[in-house]
Amino acid sequence: MFDLVVRPNPVLAPREISETKTRRWREHWPELTVLPWPDQA
């Protein structure tokens, strides 16, 4: 996490887990920017 930007990584965690973590992180750091989940092509 650099510059308070979170980029989802589907290789490391499923979408549901990633979204749960980022929700919790935003409670602590409201200025956090969470980029959208990448579309599966």
Counted domains in the chain: 1
As a whole number of angstroms, the distance between CA 11 and CA 13 comes to 6
Q: What confidence score (pLDDT) does residue 41 get?
A: 44
User: Quick one: pLDDT at residue 40?
Assistant: 58
Domain range for 13: 5-34
Question: Cβ contacts of residue 1 below 8 Å, gap of 6+?
Answer: 32
* CA atoms of 11 and 35, how far apart (whole Å): 16
Q: Is residue 23 part of a domain?
A: yes
Looking at residue 16, what is its pLDDT? Answer: 95
pTM score, two decimals? Answer: 0.74
The pLDDT assigned to 39 comes to 80
In a domain, 9, yes or no: yes
- Is 40 a member of any domain? no
Walking along the chain (41 residues) 10 residues at a time, the average pLDDT comes out as 86 94 95 88 44
Degrees (nearest 5) of the Cα angle 26, 32, 21? 40
Element (H, E) at 6: strand 5-6
What is the structure's pLDDT at 35? 94
Is residue 12 one of the residues assigned to a domain?
A: yes
Is 39 inside any structural domain? Answer: no
Residue count of the chain: 41
